[in-house]
Amino acid sequence: MKRALLTLTALALLATTAQARSWDDIKKSGTVRIATEGAFPPFNILKGKELTGFEVELAEGLARQLGLKVQWVTQPFDNLLIGLNQDRYDFVIASHGITPERAKAVDFASPHYCTGGAIVAKPGGPMTAAALAGKKVAVQVGTTYLENVQKVSGVGEVKTFPKDTDAQAALMAGRVDAWVGDKFTGLDLVKAQKGKVMQGALLFNERIGMAVKKGNTGLLKELNSALTKSLSDGSYAKLSGKYFGQDVRCRG
């Protein structure tokens, strides 16, 4: 009995003593560990071995401003915030829409772009929320698209795939009637598939932010001020123009 209690206490301690690296620790070590998914073009994508994309370049710019070297970690999307809470990395930049449920688990920085969840389907497929009634829809597991598609009344079956690219493959193979995902990613897919798919209506709008472990206010403050600076000194606008041909920052 005593031993069981001891073991339990030890386990409980193990589960709670993990401490997020504070801003001072990160500054001292000179390297920041950033996690992303690497399967979400054009925001974060692994091209061969090289990690690139809008968010990747943005985060590297922020780290440069803060005088830090970057160590990238790529993880499946649904693991990212869980890993953050286990201190596997310092912050996450992976197109996380800021939702109340997520805000309960982690702290979000100011949004670094604004976007929406849009429907993509083959010509003749569902293009509006109303047209999704009774249809099969593919989304990525653990995303805001899943929650928001489930809210559409009358929607048929919602299939969850491990990666967005798998969900898109299911659309291309005709296994589902529509895919719901980020509107910019959708535009990329439309461009890549040359008329085989079309983008439909926006289902919802969302603000995208970087996440730090709950209570890591020091790091959050530094990230926010670096982001504000890049928004005002034109480096953000330049990067956004390069990837999207427009400025994707949140307005108002």
Q: Which residues bind another protein (CB under 8 A)?
A: 15, 77-79, 81-82, 85, 101-102, 105-106, 138, 141-142, 146-147, 159-162, 166-167, 169-170, 173-175
C-beta of 4 vs 173, nearer to another protein: 173
Nearer to another protein by C-beta: 105 or 201?
105
* Minimal distance, residue 159 CB to another protein, in Å: 4
User: Considering the complex, what minimum distance in angstroms separates the CB of residue 105 from another protein?
Assistant: 4
Q: Among 198, 207, 190, which Cα is nearest to 248's?
A: 207
What is the rounded CA–CA span in Å between residue 11 and residue 20? 18
CB 37 within 8 A of CB 181: no
Nearest of 188, 139, 127 to residue 167 by alpha carbon: 139
Shortest distance, CB of residue 77 to another protein, whole angstroms?
8
Decide whether 168 or 230 has the Cβ nearer to another protein.
Answer: 168
Cα–Cα distance, 164 to 188 (Å, whole number): 13
* Choice between 70 and 141, CB closer to another protein: 141
Give the helix ranges, DSSP H, for 194-234: 217-232
What's the closest the beta carbon of residue 241 comes to another protein, in angstroms?
33
CA dihedral of residues 140, 146, 149, 154 (deg, nearest 10)? 100
